[in-house]
Chains A and B, each alone.
Chain A
Amino acid sequence: MPDNSTAATPLLQLRDVSRLLAGRRVVANLNLALDRGSVLGLLGVNGAGKSTTLRLIVGLLTPDSGEIRIGGADPRETPGAVRRLGYLPEQPPLYPELRVGEYLDFCARLRGLRGAKVAPAVGGVIERCGLGDVRARLLGNLSKGFQQRAGIAQALVHAPDLIVLDEPASGLDPLQAVQIRALVRELGKEHAVILSTHLLPDVQACCERVAILHQGALRYDGPRQALGDDLEAIFLRIVSTEDAAVAA
């Protein structure tokens, strides 16, 4: 018999979440909900509050007001709820002195995998992220593209329900960026994904839903298709309208 209460609860819900940093309101009354099986592109210019929003979701920051729920649970009361998430920060959280395999083994155990479950999980994620050839190499000696892949692999190793990626293609060469986008699209088939980016091609390539953040507030939240083909023009219109309003 299906669990109707669980089915009705969004995987992630932010209600009126606000956050000040250094006296500036970086996130303002943000409302956002995400269900299983959707890829959300969190789009905004630099300083729009995207990374802060992600840090709030994964528990690196606590909101000043509002509430965040993961599968209906408040992570402040149930820290284990965060294990349903996998998080790749803007800079991958790697230990340069460890080998790829060792690092992912640790990440798997850190997220609660034990015993016979660890090796298949690590092997699977290594294969999925294309890290097989560098498995025995030190993380500190890898190229930026492979470091980014290792960062994504640590976010996936425990098969989370929701994957939170902060600028995964930033700083990569065009080929690496295309490969990462393909990987994100692939992930979107099995997991819910939040992809934070200021690169419109990332959103166009990967996301069926777009949330545009500007000056900490949500300016648009809806299907990407509804924005039409010229995403850039619409994005610039939303952002520049807000800037003009602030200047006036």
Chain B
Amino acid sequence: MSLVIARNELRRLFVQPLAWVLLTAVLVMLAYFFLLTLQGFLVLMPKIAGNPAAPGVTDLVALPLLRAIASVLLLIVPLLGMRAFAGDRQSASLPLLLSAGLSDSRIVLGKYLGLVAFLVLLIALALAMPLSLQVATSLDLGRLAAAALGLILFAAALAALALCASACTQQPAVAAGLALVLNILLWMLDAGARYEGVSSNFVNYLALPTHLEPFLHGIVATVDILYFVLLSAVALALATRRLAASRVRG
């Protein structure tokens, strides 16, 4: 049943201009960034050609693009997820789902899967840019696969946070603002600790970059997967509780 809701959410995203505008703007911006880094690599290539220890095209072109995708996701996921519940409340369409005889967790899961499917599509389209270099050079495909997995887990966690914010508010704009603040907080959480040279403490563990960076370097660690899964699960559980509370509080 969650898949029925997910498919409908995906359809609703694609019949509205916001998703198309964001998708187009993001891909155009990433394509421009990709061409800039590629040009930089082509200028640098003759100088590093003889050095076997020098970074390759994966390091100098693909990785910067992947980091740019992560930064863009921080900003656009709140916009894509803001309407999930707050928008339905505003348009009075939420009772359709709440009176359908489904558990609240299935409703939340359906909305979540729809948003994640959209984000996976966006990441896949963006990854096609560095992958296109494979026709002319040799990429580290294992590393790219790890990075893609990391980005999907990262996007899924941001989607869960956006849905949680949307479930907790009445206005989509407030939901987007709340999700953006949460994203930035989790992104910057360990900035002070890193500035002070402190590492491996609790604050570092909570920060998003601590767990995304290993994926971008081709390291798939259980602790990082677990972090994103836990973050998503907690946010989705909170969203479910908020829906259940709306039946109790009125």
Contact = CB atoms under 8 A, between A and B. Distances in A.
Contacts of B135: none
A224 interface: no
A58 B247 CA distance: 11
A61 B93 contact: no
Interface residues of A, number: 34
Interface in A53-99: 58-62, 75, 79-83, 85, 87, 89, 91-98
A169 B95 CA distance: 19
B54 interface: no
Contact of B12 (A19, A82, A92, A95): A95
B137 interface: no
B100 A60 contact: no
Query: What range describes how many residues of B lie at the interface?
Result: 20 to 34
B99 A60 contact: yes
The 3 closest A-B pairs by CB, nearest first: A82-B101, A93-B96, A83-B101
Interface of B: 1, 4-5, 8, 11-12, 15-16, 91-103, 247-248, 250
Contacts of A199: none
Given A106-B8, A110-B5, A59 B101 contact: yes
A107 interface: yes
Nearest to A82: B101
Given A91-B92, A106-B8, A60 B98 contact: yes
Contact of A21 (B12, B100, B250): B250
A97 B99 contact: no
A102 B11 contact: yes
Contacts of A117: none
Given A19-B250, A61-B250, A82-B99, 19 more contacts: A59-B101, A60-B95, A60-B98, A62-B248, A82-B100, A85-B99, A87-B95, A87-B99, A93-B92, A93-B95, A94-B91, A95-B12, A95-B91, A98-B12, A106-B4, A107-B96, A110-B4, A110-B97, A110-B102
